Amino acid sequence: MSTWQPASTVDGGTPDYTSIPPADQIIEAGEPWVGISEPNGGILNLTILKEIDQKAKLVEEHPLGQSLKPLVNEVTGHQTTGVMSLADIFRGFMNNTSILTQPGLSPLGVPTPAPTNWTDCFPLDCLSFDDVNVTQAHIDMAAARMAEGSNNDFLRWISLDRGFVSDITSIQQGPIGGSLDSEGNWQNEYTGYGRWSGSASWLLVQLDRASLEESGWEIVWKDAKQEKSIRTSDEGLVIGGYRLANNELVLHPPQYSEEYCLELKKEEGAGCSVEWTYMDLEGHLRSHDRASLTLLVGQGVNVEVNRELQSSTGLIALMGLIILGLLYVSLRRVSDVAIVVVALGGALLWMQGFIGHISNLTGFFGWDIIARSQFSNLLPILVLALGIDDSLHALHRYKEERKLGKSASVSGTITLTRVGRAIMLTSITTMAAFSANLFSDIAALRSFGIEAAMGILAAFLLTGLWVPLLRMSFDEWLEHRKGKSIEERQITHLVPEKWLRGLTIQSGRFKNSVVIAILALLLTVPASIAMSNLEGDFAVEDFLDESSDFAQGVNIVNERFSDEGEPAMLLIEGDV
């Protein structure tokens, strides 16, 4: 500890996310009301409280510090600048000015004595939190008095594994081995020497939205300037707000300032994304992790989603190569594969263009229909799947007509009138199905329905109609150039045609059809029962890499704080 130094920054002050302690180093959560044995007090250890206090000061010194909004602590009644932690609670209590050490009034206006005190600390002296002589024994005594006198408000600041841990060397007594019931009363406890402890707590930061926007930050991700630049640094390749390190993308948040964001908003009409600055703040806090580990919870989801999307570029490239291979196996002509690839790329571009035109048109009338979300990331998969199917259907029908000796124009006409009509009907029905999301109360689903419909329309126009027309035009050009008709190669089927023909004939016979119907019924009945038992369970972490800091932060909150209640007071006015 004596030789510890904060993690160094890189590239002009950017936190080095490869040098900070990983999130999986946090100690495992304990059992409820059992507490943490090591270190003494767990999160209530004096050294850790001092470290948390230092991190609170780092928040105030950060560029976001100028937009802090005051908070009032429910335990001590003190107001903070906008950053609140356990250290503030102990400081407020141990300077003997908190509501816990002062007389008060009941709801009926009757004077009440102070719940506890910080004037009689025998055998210790009642020192303040910032006194150089304060010890862990002072923290243990203050924690016990706040736990007893704050109507459990203090305990809510500690994770669910909080508990009074037995220690015969301690001078403080408390309830060991018990638990609080819903009424706030102890059950099955016994009194002994020890201290309060737990594994985690909060460092609350409250920011003023109006102040952030006035300082040039954008709260909504899509309204902010997107970080897309690619550059090199001494530490490696920087792509937007990420850096390539050990063949992985790690966070490399841009260093925003109020002056830069205001100038950017003035020039481009879009300011800095506050999510990047949140991640920069987290990086600076985690660079000072020594005996504790800091995680930003509930913010920066767009940063994490985009990191995972960019990290999957290699998989996307591999998928593209596999698609190219399968297309060639099916079509057996490089020109056919090239036509399909060009059509698929155009369909993706057209889809985005259609979505943009709809967004602009509806925005002109004051309607907010398009709300891009993570569902939008599924659209390319949908367009590619439908586009490849439409292309193969159209081209194979065109090839079949050409094998019968028909000209390119006649084959193209038959393809469009037969297969094209079927593709049009299936595209219309699929568009209608997705458009049904317009009746959803969820903005993201409504937008996804429109976006999917535009993607299907683009796929139909380019892969269902344009692909066979382009094949026809290309064949006519080749025939004119070579002066003779083009002979189509034998169509290759992934499944032999003889097998498919035999399966169809055999399935149509009466005895076989009865067996097939019985088998289908045996599969359908249990499937229907299982379907009726399905339950919806939405969890943000399910959409992200479970090893990411964001997902681990959500899991920590769910595991260590999810069952915690919140105190409430109701004021009823009227004639009684």
Residue range 390-413, pLDDT digits in tens: 999 999 899 888 888 888 899 999
> Do residues 343 and 433 both lie within one domain?
yes
Show the tokens assigned to 484.
């003779």
2 within a domain of the structure (yes/no): no
Q: List all residues 6 or more positions away from 494 whose beta carbon is below 8 Å from its beta carbon.
A: 329, 330
C-beta neighbour count of 61 within 10 angstroms = 9
> Based on the domain organization, do 126 and 220 belong to the same domain?
no
Q: So what's the pLDDT on residue 5?
A: 85
The reply to whether 71 and 176 lie within a common domain is yes
Give per-residue pLDDT as tens, 5-52: 888 888 888 999 989 988 888 888 888 889 988 888 999 999 999 999
| Interatomic CA distance for residues 236 and 254, integer angstroms | 15
Q: Is it the case that residue 221 has pLDDT exceeding 70?
A: yes
Q: In this predicted model, what pLDDT tens digit does every residue of 454-480 receive, in sequence order?
A: 999 999 999 999 999 999 999 888 888
Query: Which residue among 457, 491, 525 closes a domain?
Result: 491
Given pLDDT bands bounded at 50, 70 and 90, which one contains residue 517?
A: confident
Q: Which residue has the higher pLDDT, 519 or 565?
A: 519
Residues 211, 203 contacting (CB under 8 angstroms) = no
Both 424 and 450 in a single domain?
Answer: yes
Amino acid at 475: D
* pLDDT given at position 569: 65
pLDDT in tens, 236-293: 899 889 998 888 889 999 999 999 999 999 998 899 999 999 999 999 999 999 989 9
d(CA 241, CA 230): 9
Find where tokens 């025939």 sit: 479
Q: Has this prediction a pTM greater than 0.85? A: no
Q: Tell me: do 143 and 232 sit in the same domain.
A: no
What is the 3-class SS of 289-328, one letter each residue? CCCCCCCCCCCCHHHHHHHHHHHCHHHHHHHHHHHHHHHH
Calculate mean pLDDT across residues 520-546. 77
Q: Give the residue from 27, 15, 32, 527 showing the smallest Cα distance to 284.
A: 15
Query: Which amino acid is present at 560?
Result: R
Q: Is 425 in the same domain as 477?
A: yes
The CATH code of the domain that includes 355 is 1.20.1640.10
For the chain, the distance separating the N- and C-terminal CA atoms, rounded to the nearest angstrom, is 62
Q: Which residues on adjacent β-strands are paired with residue 14?
A: 10
- Print burial letters for 127-155: b (CB count within 10 Å at least 16), e (below 16): bebeeeebebbbbbbbbbbbbbbbeebbb
pLDDT at 565: 57
Residues 90 and 121 in one domain: yes
Is 237 among the domain residues? yes
Residue-averaged pLDDT of the chain:
87
- Residue 18 within a domain: no
Structure tokens, 378: 């599924």
Tell me which residue range forms the domain holding 273: 209-308
Residue 359 and residue 276 share a domain: no
pLDDT for residue 27? 84
pLDDT at 144 exceeding the cut of 80: yes
In a domain, 415, yes or no: yes
Query: What is the rounded (10 degree) CA torsion for 75, 80, 82, 84?
Result: -40
Residue 492 has pLDDT above 60, yes or no: no
| Chain center to CA of 272 | 20
Same-domain status, 213 and 195: no
Last residue of a domain, one of 199, 217, 233: 199
Q: Is residue 511 part of a domain?
A: no
Is 81 within 8 Å of 68 (Cβ atoms)?
yes
Res 540: pLDDT? 59
Percentage of the chain exceeding pLDDT 70 = 94
**pLDDT at residue 314 greater than cutoff 80:** no
**Within-domain flag for 520:** no
Cα separation, 310 vs 325, in Å, equals: 24
Q: How many helices (H) and strands (E) does the chain have?
A: 16, 19
pLDDT category, 489, cuts 50, 70, 90?
Answer: low
pLDDT in tens, 331-390: 888 889 999 999 999 999 999 899 889 888 888 887 778 777 767 878 888 899 999 999
Query: Which letter does DSSP use for residue 488 in this model?
Result: P
* Number of domains forming the structure of the chain: 3
What residue type is assigned to position 286 of the chain? R
Q: How far apart are CA 564 and CA 160, in angstroms?
A: 7
Give the pLDDT band (50/70/90) at residue 197. Answer: very high
Residue 467 lies inside a defined structural domain of this protein? yes
Clarify whether residues 31 and 148 are in a common domain: yes
- pLDDT exceeds cutoff 90 at 546: no
Q: Do residues 346 and 259 share a domain?
A: no
**Are 340 and 416 members of one domain?**
yes
**pLDDT exceeds 70 at position 94:** yes
**161-190 confidence digits (pLDDT tens):** 999 999 999 999 999 988 887 777 788 889
Q: φ, ψ for residue 409 (rounded to 5)?
A: -65, -40
Q: Which of 199, 229, 263 is the last residue of a domain?
A: 199
- Asked if residue 313 belongs to a domain, the reply is no
